[in-house]
Amino acid sequence: MALDRAIRAAVTAALALTVLALAAPAARAQAKAPSVPGVPGVTPTGILIGQSVPLSGANKDLGEDIRNGALAYFKKVNEAGGVNGRRIEMVTLDDGNVVQRAGENTQRLVEERGVFALFGYASATLSRPALPHVQKHRVPFLAPFTGADPMRVFNRYVYNMRASYADELEKIVDHYSLFGIKRFAIVHYDDVVGNENFTAVDRALRKRNLNAVAVAAFKDRAKPDIDSGVKAVLKGNPEVVILTTLYKASSDFIKLARKSGSTAQMVSNSFPGSTPLAKELGKEGAGVAIAQVVPPPSKQSVPVVAEYRVAIEQYLGRKEYSFTSLEAFIGAKVMVEAMRRAGPKLTRDSFMLALDNLSSYDAGGYMVGFTPVNHNGSAFVELTIIGKDLLFKH
């Protein structure tokens, strides 16, 4: 259809504003339908969700994966008749991984587009500018793609679907220390989130009477000094290097460290996105370990993974699976379940009440649970490693 072709062209060109309607006739009907009185983003025929992610720049692969995973589930739901008779539409704006744009996008989504809820921002640094608007307008904010501690402090309107970075980093230190490894180094950003990551690793090491043998702290996220960072870390002769940086910085660090003669085990938390990091590393990714907060997308014995694989292939028109799009798929599934439980008279309050009562929801072999005082829905973490065939092993 003409509208579908226009949408695909817009995505391909990476325009700053991407409006993704999952069914063109329904989207046109929704645009004409009056909103339910007092309920932003809800009409008799549809529900409008807002999202800001990087669809351009160095981190665009991560943003595209987050968007596509959610849209794959929403498409599945819409084709089955929607949620209580309403179809879901998601408006995605490109923030280019720029903090200021993420805040501006949120204001547009909430105040101009009048979305019902926000979903799946790509990091804590991009999510935090959204919080003043979330708070001011009482907008539910689900599944930010981050495990950073600043986003996990209880907020009435924020619902995290994944484990924290602290959970991941504890798992990493625990795993390698069991093999008698004592020499750990950490690579992080010198900002609020990056320093929280350092603190989490330091806490895990001290619990085992250990200290980091070397640290690389990048002050500039956009242009990290990789050369200086590698030199600082290699001086400590670490056995394991824990990276908590974006995929381009992590990849550049690993490649240069290897070129410089390091044989240390390189391991990353989930922050950079496993698939983008593996793609960026190429053949030099073999042996790199990555913490995961969802099951491997190859593990079809897990029901939600099998469901995801069918849905993402139908949405993309190709077999392209990733941990990131699976995480977004699960987040979208939890969101829809809460909408269903809220009933036909959907409001933001009834939706959040349904989420608060989702104490032990089985999304298909992946458990998520919230309470009125705890909005951190999962602590699932496992480690994977990139094999010589460049596929993830678990």
DSSP 8-state class, residue 185: E
Instruction: Convert the pLDDT of each residue in 109-167 to its tens digit.
Output: 999 999 999 999 999 999 999 999 999 999 999 999 999 988 999 999 999 999 999 99
Angstrom distances, CA of residue 286 to CA of 259, 265, 358, 385: 14, 11, 39, 8
Alpha helices by DSSP H, listed for the chain, are 2-12, 24-32, 60-79, 99-107, 124-127, 131-137, 165-177, 192-206, 226-235, 247-259, 274-281, 303-316, 323-342, 348-356
pLDDT under 50 in the chain at which residues? Answer: 1-32
Q: What is the pLDDT of residue 34?
A: 59
Q: Whole-angstrom Cα distance, residue 347 to residue 342?
A: 8
Fold match flag (2-162+301-368 vs 165-292): yes
Instruction: Convert the pLDDT of each residue in 240-264 to its tens digit.
Output: 999 999 999 999 999 999 999 999 9
- Domain ranges across the chain: 2-162+301-368, 165-292
CATH fold group of domain 2-162+301-368: Rossmann fold (3.40.50)
Contact predicate 7/47, CB 8 Å: no
CB-facing half-sphere around the CA of 183: CA atoms within 13 A:
11
Q: What is the pLDDT of residue 275?
A: 85
Alpha helices by DSSP H, listed for 81-150, are 99-107, 124-127, 131-137
CA-based torsion, 140, 379, 122, 199: positive or negative: positive
CATH fold group of domain 165-292: Rossmann fold (3.40.50)
Q: Whole-angstrom Cα distance, residue 219 to residue 211?
A: 22
Q: What is the pLDDT of residue 35?
A: 64
